[in-house]
Amino acid sequence: MTRILALTAVELEAARLARDLALAPVAGSRWAHFRSGALEIACVGLGASRLEERAASCATPALVISAGACGALSPDLREGQLVVPETILLETGACYPTAPLAGYPRRGTLLTVGRVVESPSAKARLWVETGALAVDMESAVIVEWAGRRGIPAAVVRGVSDTASRAVSADLASVVEPDGRVRTMRAIGVALARPQALGEALALRRGTSAALTAVAAALGKLARS
């Protein structure tokens, strides 16, 4: 059996993918961790900040996948569209190739940054400067980590917010570094800035579409 380990940034991403794929929670885990058959899904926090400690609880995989949502930089990308890049780029210029995936041709570059990209104008600047199709905060860390262990790594992300939308800092703050979402903090943001509610609903819709596409891809890869 070829074991696949899919790593997400946010607990809600891991839980949604596990639900769609009928994966069971790993007994005794205090964080979002699911497993069934060839597929294992684990939340490793924003920026993959909990990767080292949480990966120690996972079975040794034959393939690692950075999974979940990403933000579009290219105006051509739509909500829910899969991004399976050939290359991961850091703003420092460091570049990491990804492993090929059966049935999912790799295309273009994904940019990994160390902070939330808060505005469409900031997205446009990154697109012009880097040529990357989309942006996230984890993939370079995950791919580099897997590479040091001799494990092939790929990226399967879905677009949650198009190039014309972005995630504001106050909305981003509802997610803790370890990937947990603080519900009361989200309510506080909505009360303090009424337009944040509409932004949150749009992001929820986009994230749902993104994760539906990612779950379908992970299921197909696990079956193959």
| Residue 152, token pair as written in the block | 């092939």
- In degrees, to the nearest 5, what angle opens at C-alpha 20 toward C-alphas 17 and 24? 75
SS (HEC) of 69-133: EEEECCCCCCCCCEECCCEEEECCCCEEECCCECCECCCCEEEECCCCCCCHHHHHHHHHHHCCC
Show the DSSP H helices in 132-223 as ranges: 139-148, 169-172, 183-192, 195-223
- Parse the chain into domains and list their residue ranges: 4-223
Distance CA 200, CA 205 (A): 9
Read off the pTM: 0.93
| Residue 93, token pair as written in the block | 């210029």
User: Given the structure tokens 């080292």, which residue do they identify?
Assistant: 52
Q: Does domain 4-223 have CATH number 1.20.1250.20?
A: no
Digit-by-digit pLDDT tens for the chain (224 residues) are: 569 999 999 999 999 999 999 999 999 899 999 999 999 999 999 999 999 999 999 999 999 999 999 999 999 999 999 999 999 999 888 999 999 999 999 999 999 999 989 899 999 999 999 999 999 999 999 999 999 999 999 999 999 999 999 888 888 888 889 999 887 777 787 778 878 778 888 888 999 999 999 999 999 999 88
